[in-house]
Amino acid sequence: MQNTEFRTGVINPIECVKEGFELIKSDYWLMFAISIVGMLIGGVTMDILLGAMVCGIFYAFLNKIDGRPVTFDDLWKGMGWFVPGLIVTVIIVVPVIVFYVGVYASIIAAVVVGAQMGESGVVGLFAFALTVDFVFVVLMVCFHTLLMFSFPLIVDRNLGAVDSIKTSAKAVWHNLGGVAGLIGVNFILVIIGYVALCVGVYFVVPIMIAGNVVAYRRVFPSLQNPLQNKAGYFGPNS
């Protein structure tokens, strides 16, 4: 039976990001390559391999943060979790696709029949579509936040897709303040990356992943690492 116990009140967003960077900086370029190649493969395969690649990325980062050796081949280990990774990806991606198909179909229909609706009717429809779009984005951010620990749970606890989603949602909900703060810090890192000629955003990706994995490890301590106790994660060299 998988251990799905978790801790609460252990996520300090800034500490997680700083600690994550400290733990990966000796292998930063390796972690960078694993992250970027994994995401590119997920993208070019139209998200079919995205779940497996994300699992591989988390496998590599968990190895690094837990003090185990990391190689680029760790990325391919994610294929061992192809099915649960794909299921979680579908649950994340499909609602977004369905929604936007519906929104833009409505907009196209409005343009086609615009002459019959009149200018005010078209403007009203566009305003309605934008409002619904905004509400949906907020709901999706909340939903995706609840799934924040799903992929590392698949890798670390060998959970199935449904169990990883349920356990992640429960753990995030009980650590909502820390998780929200971490998302805020990551958002600031993204802004800094975009300011740095836009390409800088790619270079902060490994730091954000490392911070998220440290947060995960604080909430779900390693089952093998004796250097973790009830106070949270201390790192392999503590």
Quick: pLDDT tens for 18-36: 999 999 999 999 999 999 9
Write out pLDDT tens, residues 34-63. 999 999 999 999 999 999 999 999 999 999
pTM confidence score: 0.86
Within 10 A of 33 (CB to CB), how many other CB atoms are there? 15
Least confident residue range of 80-84, 161-165, 224-228: 224-228
C-alpha 11/C-alpha 141 separation (Å) is 19
Long-range CB pairs of 144-151 (<8 Å, 24+ gap) are 144/92, 145/172, 145/179, 145/180, 145/183, 146/172, 146/173, 147/88, 147/91, 147/92, 147/172, 148/172, 148/179, 148/212, 149/216, 149/219, 149/220, 150/88, 151/51, 151/54, 151/55, 151/58, 151/85, 151/88
What rounded mean pLDDT belongs to the chain? 88
The angle, 0 to 180 degrees and rounded to 10, between the axes of the packed helices 114-146 and 161-173 is 80
The angle, 0 to 180 degrees and rounded to 10, between the axes of the packed helices 50-65 and 82-112 is 130
User: Does position 173 have pLDDT exceeding 70, yes or no?
Assistant: yes
User: Does position 194 have pLDDT exceeding 70, yes or no?
Assistant: yes
Q: Are 189 and 18 in contact (CB under 8 A)?
A: no
Give the Å distances, CA to CA, from 149 to 24, 169, 207.
19, 8, 17
CA angle 34, 194, 93 (to 5 degrees): 60
Higher pLDDT, residue 96 or 70: 70
In the chain, where are the structural domains located? Answer: 25-219
User: Does position 231 have pLDDT exceeding 60, yes or no?
Assistant: no
Q: Residue 119 carries which side chain, given as an amino acid letter?
A: E
Higher pLDDT, residue 173 or 233: 173
Helix/strand/coil for 229: strand
Backbone angles phi, psi at 149, to 5 degrees: -100, 5
pLDDT band at residue 236 using 50, 70 and 90 as cut-offs: very low
What pLDDT does residue 99 have?
A: 76
User: Does position 238 have pLDDT exceeding 50, yes or no?
Assistant: no
User: Does position 223 have pLDDT exceeding 90, yes or no?
Assistant: no
Write out pLDDT tens, residues 68-78. 999 999 999 99
Q: Residue 64 carries which side chain, given as an amino acid letter?
A: K
User: Does position 67 have pLDDT exceeding 70, yes or no?
Assistant: yes
Higher pLDDT, residue 155 or 3: 155
What pLDDT does residue 119 have?
A: 64
User: Does position 122 have pLDDT exceeding 70, yes or no?
Assistant: no
